[in-house]
Amino acid sequence: MTLHPEIAEFLAALPAPPEGPLDPVAMRAADEAHLPPVEERLPLHAVQDVTAKTEAGEVPVRVYTPAEADTYGLLVYFHGGAFFLGSLETHDHVARSLAKETGLKVVSVGYRLAPEAAFPAGLDDCYATVCWAAGEDSGLDWDGATLAVAGDSSGGTFAAAVAARAHDDGFDRITHQILYYPSLDLDFDADRYPSLRDNATGYGLETAGLKPFNAFYLDSGADPADPLVSPIKRTDLSGLPPALVVTAEHDPLRDEGELYGERLRAAGVAATVSRYPGAGHGFVQHFSWIPEYHRVFEETRDFLNRR
């Protein structure tokens, strides 16, 4: 299937990227320049900014409550942005849709970003926030049943790494991991996966841009050979939580996500791999208003409801 026509039209209208080195501060400002006002966002029972007091320090989080209840299943969400972009604001609409469709209380994590915060600061924030969310002191009224981790792109990297780290630490409360077009192998050798060649140009995220976009993270001390940086390099995947791995047909990262799902299944983990035709990298954040891609939230709900 060719790229979805509405996505293709959007990409064709984008200006050429500026020449020279990437400027993280300017790019973050541009990301947040055209966000909708709060009153135009999907309404929920409650949306609250709080500070999670964790073992990694104080972490800003935004809590989305879909409806009033005594207790809640929890979904802890990590935004994407190549480890140096993204925020609670840029992914607010994703967290709102997750809360509405799943019925879970969603905790979106404002983890520290590279290059200002060296590895593993962002990962530490994500993992510590999951542990905090499950504790009585969080005030989140966790029901003790569902505790999911989810993320898109680099946030999917963190979700996979958090699930693995929790398993190794004996923290067995995570029940599901949801990885939207995750970046699971930060060794960007173009010969490693066919999708790095087949989807190299013309679909938004380009293979040639992977190294410079991830350089802020890798140059801060993140080693691509470390399974907490490249989760696909983990040797033993057994015992990890059930996984939903969502990939996009026209994404350079497609094949590593699908291979990770295959390896999870081979290790005895219940894993669902779902490829979205006509989509490119970032479609959950940028194009979930298109009905066939909004379905990703319904698929997430159905995955979480499986027993």
46-54 vs 142-152, strand pairing mode: unpaired
Strand order in the sheet with 271-280: 46-54, 57-65, 105-109, 72-78, 142-152, 176-180, 243-250, 271-280
**What is the C-alpha to C-alpha distance for residues 276 and 27, in angstroms, rounded to an integer?**
28
Task: Name residues whose C-beta falls within 8 Å of residue 136's C-beta, 6 or more positions apart in sequence.
Answer: none
Residues 88 and 71: beta-carbon distance below 8 Å: no
Residues 71 and 146: beta-carbon distance below 8 Å: no
Report in angstroms the alpha-carbon separations of 32 from 26, 87, 153, 290. 10, 9, 18, 21
Enumerate the active-site residues: 153, 251, 281
Which residues share a beta bridge with 152? Answer: 180
